[in-house]
Amino acid sequence: MTIYEKYGGEGTIAKVVDSFYDLVLADETVNHFFEHTDMEKQRRHQTKFISYALGGPNQYTGQAMAKVHEGMNLQPVHFDAILKHLRTALAHFGVEAADIEQAIAKVETLRDDIQYK
C-alpha cells in the first residue's frame, strides 16, 4: 500500500496541501515567492504533484522542476523551510513519522533541480 492510499488518497492530500500553504504563506522566509501566484491553481497543482510523489496516480502535468523554478534563485534556507512546512502539515494530519520521512526523501531528490535556478 502506498502512502497515498494509506492516508485516504487525493482528498487527504488536498487537505495537507492547504495546511502546507497556510504555513508557507505565513512564513516570511518563503512567502514572497508566492506574491503573484494564483494560489487556488497552485494548491490544485501541488495536490496532484504530492499525490503522485506519495504513490498516487500520475496526474502531474506541470513543467520540469528546474524550468518552473527558473529565475527564482531559491537557496537552501528556502528549500529547507518548504520541507519543514511539509513535515508539519503531514504530521498535523496524522501521517506517521516513517511515512513523513519517506515523503520528505522523495521531495529531497528535487533539491538540485530547484535550488540556485
Confidence of residue 117 (pLDDT cuts 50, 70, 90): confident
Q: Which residue has the cell 487527504?
A: 12
pLDDT digits (tens, 9 = 90+) for 25-83: 999 999 999 999 999 999 999 999 889 888 998 776 777 888 989 999 999 999 999 99
User: Read out DSSP for 9-44?
Assistant: THHHHHHHHHHHHHHHHT-TTTGGGGTT--HHHHHH
Q: Is 45 annotated as a binding residue?
A: yes
Q: Which residue has the cell 482528498?
A: 11
Query: Please, what are the domains in the chain?
Result: 3-114 (1.10.490.10)
The whole-model pTM stands at 0.92
Per residue, what are the HEC states of 66-116?
A: HHHCCCCCECHHHHHHHHHHHHHHHHHCCCCHHHHHHHHHHHHCCHHHHEC
92 is in an annotated binding site: no
